[in-house]
Structure 1
Amino acid sequence: MGKMGGELLATVILLGFIIHASTQAPPGGGGGGNNNPDPLDIVFFQGFNWESWKSGSWYNVLEGAAKEIAGAGITDVWFPPPSQSVGPQGYLPGKLYDLDESKYGTSSELRQAVQAFHQNGVGCVCDIVINHRTGSKQDDKGNWCIFEGGTDDDRLDWGAWAIPVNDKPYSCGTGNADTGKDYEAAPDVDHTNPRVQSELSEWMKWLMSDIGFDGWRFDFARGYAGNFLSMYIQNTTPSFAVGEVWDTLNFGNGGENAHRQGLVDWVHSTADSSAAFDFTTKGILQLAVQNNELWRLRDSNGKPSGMIGVLPEKAITFIDNHDTGSTQNLWPFPPDKLMQGYAYILTHPGVPTIFYDHFQDTNLKGGIKQLIEIRKRNQIKANSACTIITAESDLYMANIEDKVIMKIGARYDVGKYLPSKDFQLTASGNDYVVWERKT
C-alpha cells in the first residue's frame, strides 16, 4: 500500500497482517522453495523498497542476491507486485496477467529470480493487490470502470458490475455493498461476486504454475472481509500468505491492548487460518527505544506488550517496510536504534521480518546475520517461551527458552540479572547484548 491510500493522521499507525496458511505444508515449498517444514521457524525478508522499480530490472538484482539471502538463514522472500500498474511501484494494478509491463522487470526475469531462490531453498511470496483495480477504458459516462485482464480472452475483463455499489469516491459501481474499507486511489473490487472470486483465484493459481510463486502477501486486506481472504488462501493453497491491514494505535488508556486485540480478532475473522504482522510491537518498541521508555515492553501480566505477548505463533514482527521506512518514511523506526530493534525481534517469539534496506546497509548486515545465527542455533521459534527479567526506563532484559538472554537499553551494569556462569556473551552492539547458554 503506497502513499496514495495512506491515512496521514497524527494518531495513525500502520497496522498490518501476515496471513499464514495451513501448517500442513512447508512455507515457501510450493514451487520447490523453502525446505523448512516448520511454519514456526520462519525468517521472512522483504525483497524491495519504495524506489526499487527505478533499478532497470529489480528482478535481476534479487536474482543476484539470492545466494547471500539464503546463506543468512532467511527462509522466505517477499517480491513486489508483478502486474501492469498505473503506479510504478505496482500498487495500482490494471491488467493483472500482463507481467511484462511491470517496472520491476520482465516476466522471464521474474521467473529466473524465483528459480534462483528456489535453487537456494528459499520460498517466494508474491505481493497480491486484489482489493482494487484501475480501469483500462472509460464507459459512455466517462467512468474508468472497464477493466482488461491482459489476455486474448475475457479472463478478468470486468465492468461496473465488479465494483461495489457504495464504493467511494467512485459512483459507477453496480455490484454488492463493499465488505471493508474504501480505497480512494482506485475502484474497489466486489469480492462477493462469484466470477470475481473464481477469476482472481485462477490468476493466482497461474502465478504459481507459470511463475513459480509459493505464497502471497495480500495488499490492503482491510478493504474486504477476512473470510474472503481466507477463501482465496483455500482456493489456491499457498504455503505462505501475507495480508496488510492498517489501523490506528493510540497510546495510553488501554489503547495498546485494544490494538493488539484487534489483531487477534482479525485472525479469528479468517477462521484462524492466518497470522498477523505485529504492528503493535513495532509501535511500542520504537517509542520505547526512542524515549528510553523500555518499561513499555512489558504488559500488566508480565508478558511482551505486543501481539507476541498474547498470540505469538500468529505474530509476524518487523522493524520497517516500504511504507513505514524507505523514501516514504511514513512511520520509520529510529535510525540510530535499528539494531536494538533487530536484537529484540530476532531473539523473541513471533516470526521476524528483515527489511531489504537494513540488510543491504553495511553497518547493519553483519549484526543482523549474527542475530539470525543465534536464533537458528538456539532453535528460537514463533511460539518460544519468553520470560521478561526486567523492563525499566533504560534497561530491558528477557530470557528466551532458557537458552538466550538479551538486553537492550543504555544501561550496561546488568550483572545481577545474569545467572552465574551459565551464559556467555556472543553478540553485542550499540545498546544491545545477547548471551547464550554454554554448551
Structure 2
Amino acid sequence: MKKIYFTLIALLASINMFAQGWPANYSGVMLQGFSWDSYDYSQWTVLEKQADDMKGFIDLVWLPQSGKCIETTQVMGYKPYYYFNQNSSFGTEAELRSLIAKFKANGIGAIADVVVNHRNTDGWFTFPAETYNGVTYQMLPTDICKNDDGGSTEKQAKKDGVSLSNNDDEGTDFGGCRDIDHKSENVQKIIKAYLKFLKEDIGYTGFRYDMVKGFIGTHVADYNDATGVEFSVGEYWDGNQSIINWINKTNKKSAAFDFQFRYNVRDAIGIKDNKIVSPPNWSKLKSDYNLMHDPTYRQYAITFVENHDMQYRSKNEPLDPLKRDTLAANAYMLAMPGTPCVFQPHWRAYKQEIKSMIEA
C-alpha cells in the first residue's frame, strides 16, 4: 500500500512540473503595470504602494523587464544584458522582491517580461559571465545565430576571427542585439536556469515572452515545462491564424496576446493610421476573427486594447493609439471571454470606472 501511495505522489509531482499554458476558465484580470518610459509610475516602490488598492480587482500584474541592462541611463529593458542581476531602471532587486511579496499577500501574481529572443553584448560578441548558486553561466559567440543582423554579425565575426553558431535564426531578426540560437544546449541551459531563478527565487508567478516570432514555439513549451509555470503569454504580433499556429507549436503550453481582438476594437472606434477616420461603428465588433471568439482558443486569449507599443509617445512616434472611446473599449474587453489585460494609463485615468466594470 505504501508503495502505491508513494508512486501516486511521484506521479502527481511529475504532472505538476509541466506547464499548463493558461488556467482553464480563468476569470482573473491582468494589468500591464507600465507604459513606455513610465519610470515614475512603474517604480517597484510606487507599484507596491498600490497593491492594497488593486486587491480584489487585479489578479496579475505584468511588470517591465526587471534585469539590469548594460546602459547607464534609464531604459525599458528590451535590450537585456544581465539575467541574474535584477537591479533595473525600475528599482533594486530588494525592492522588486518586496513588491512581489506584497502582491502575493494581496492575492496578486507578478508576470515577468521575459526577453530571450535576443540579448545585448559588450562590444559585438561578449556576453556577461554570471554566477548563481555556485554555477557560472555565460553565452558564447557560438550561441549567436549565423545570420544575425542581416549578415552584419557574420561579417564582423570573420573580421575578428570569431565563430558563430552554424544555425540561422528560426524567425524574425531583431536589429541592434544578438539573436541567440535556441537550438544551442548552452542557451537552453542558461534560459532554463534564468526562468527558474525568476519563478522560484524572485517569486514571479508567470512569464510574458517578448517577440516570440523570433524563435520556434516548441522552445517556449520546453522552457515552461522546465519551470512548471502556470501562466505564460507570448507576444506573437501577427494575424489570427499565425497566432493560433504558434499556440499549437507550444503544444498549448502558452497563451498569446489577441492582437486581432485589439484591431477589431480599434477599427470599430474608427481609427486608421493614427487618425480618426469615421464615426464609431460598433457592428465591427461582431467579427469572430480573433482568439477570444474561438471556443478552442479563448482559454489562451489575452485580450487588450492598447499597450506600450501602440500608445502615443510623441509627434515623432505617434504609433497607433485609440484616441477616443477608451472606456467603451475597456468595457467591451472586460465583458468578453479571454483574460483581459488593462493598460496602465487607462487604469490611472479611469480607475473607479474600470473597477466598477470588473465588479460587474
Matching residue of 1:157? 138
Q: Do 1:111 and 1:211's aligned partners in 2 also have CA atoms closer than 8 Å? A: yes
Which runs of structure 2 are paired with 1:428-439 in the superposition (5 Å)? none
Q: Do 2:25 and 2:299's aligned partners in 1 also have CA atoms closer than 8 Å? A: no
Matching residue of 1:411? none
Residues 1:320 and 2:306 aligned together: yes
**Structure 1 residues 211 and 46, CA gap change in structure 2 (3 angstroms):** same
Deviating beyond 6 angstroms after TM superposition, the runs of 4 or more aligned structure 1 residues are: none
How far apart, CA to CA, are the structure 2 residues paired with 1:359 and 1:368?
7
Matching residue of 2:20? 22
Q: Which secondary structure does the structure 1 equivalent of 2:50 belong to?
A: helix
Which runs of structure 2 are paired with 1:80-119 in the superposition (5 Å)? 80-86=64-70, 88-100=75-87, 102-119=88-105
CA positional deviation for 1:155: 3.0
How far apart, CA to CA, are the structure 1 residues paired with 2:59 and 2:318?
27
Which runs of structure 2 are paired with 1:369-408 in the superposition (5 Å)? 369-374=355-360
CA positional deviation for 1:181: 0.8
TM-score (norm 1): 0.68
Residues 1:293 and 2:281 aligned together: yes
Q: Which secondary structure does the structure 2 equivalent of 1:151 belong to?
A: strand
Which runs of structure 2 are paired with 1:112-151 in the superposition (5 Å)? 112-136=98-122, 138=123, 144-151=124-131
Q: Do 2:304 and 2:333's aligned partners in 1 also have CA atoms closer than 8 Å? A: yes
CA positional deviation for 1:43: 0.8
CA positional deviation for 1:38: 5.8
Bigger fraction of residues in helix: 2
Residues 1:190 and 2:172 aligned together: no
How far apart, CA to CA, are the structure 2 residues paired with 1:42 and 1:239?
13
Matching residue of 2:62? 78
Q: Do 1:296 and 1:305's aligned partners in 2 also have CA atoms closer than 8 Å? A: no
How far apart, CA to CA, are the structure 1 residues paired with 2:129 and 2:31?
30
Q: Which secondary structure does the structure 2 equivalent of 1:168 belong to?
A: helix
C-alpha RMSD of the superposition = 2.1
CA positional deviation for 1:365: 1.5
Q: Which secondary structure does the structure 2 equivalent of 1:126 belong to?
A: strand
CA positional deviation for 1:86: 4.1
Q: Do 2:79 and 2:120's aligned partners in 1 also have CA atoms closer than 8 Å? A: yes
Q: Do 2:255 and 2:299's aligned partners in 1 also have CA atoms closer than 8 Å? A: yes
Q: How many residues align?
A: 316
Q: Do 1:54 and 1:103's aligned partners in 2 also have CA atoms closer than 8 Å? A: no
Matching residue of 1:330? 319
Q: Do 2:34 and 2:64's aligned partners in 1 also have CA atoms closer than 8 Å? A: yes
Which runs of structure 2 are paired with 1:249-328 in the superposition (5 Å)? 259-290=239-270, 291=278, 292-299=280-287, 304-310=288-294, 311-325=297-311, 327=313
CA positional deviation for 1:39: 5.2
Matching residue of 1:166? 147
Q: How big is each residue's C-alpha offset from its partner over 1:325-355, in whole Å with a ceiling of 9 and x where there is no partner?
A: 1526522122x21011011111111111111
Matching residue of 2:335? 347
Residues 1:360 and 2:344 aligned together: no
**Structure 1 residues 79 and 150, CA gap change in structure 2 (3 angstroms):** same
How far apart, CA to CA, are the structure 1 residues paired with 2:143 and 2:39?
29
How far apart, CA to CA, are the structure 2 residues paired with 1:347 and 1:272?
24
Gaps of 5+ in 1: 1-19, 28-36, 139-143, 248-258, 375-439
Q: Do 2:206 and 2:230's aligned partners in 1 also have CA atoms closer than 8 Å? A: yes
Gaps of 5+ in 2: 1-17, 158-162, 271-277
Residues 1:49 and 2:35 aligned together: yes
CA positional deviation for 1:209: 2.3
Q: Do 1:165 and 1:178's aligned partners in 2 also have CA atoms closer than 8 Å? A: yes
Q: How big is each residue's C-alpha offset from its partner over 1:213-251, in whole Å with a ceiling of 9 and x where there is no partner?
A: 11111111111001011111111111211221223xxxx
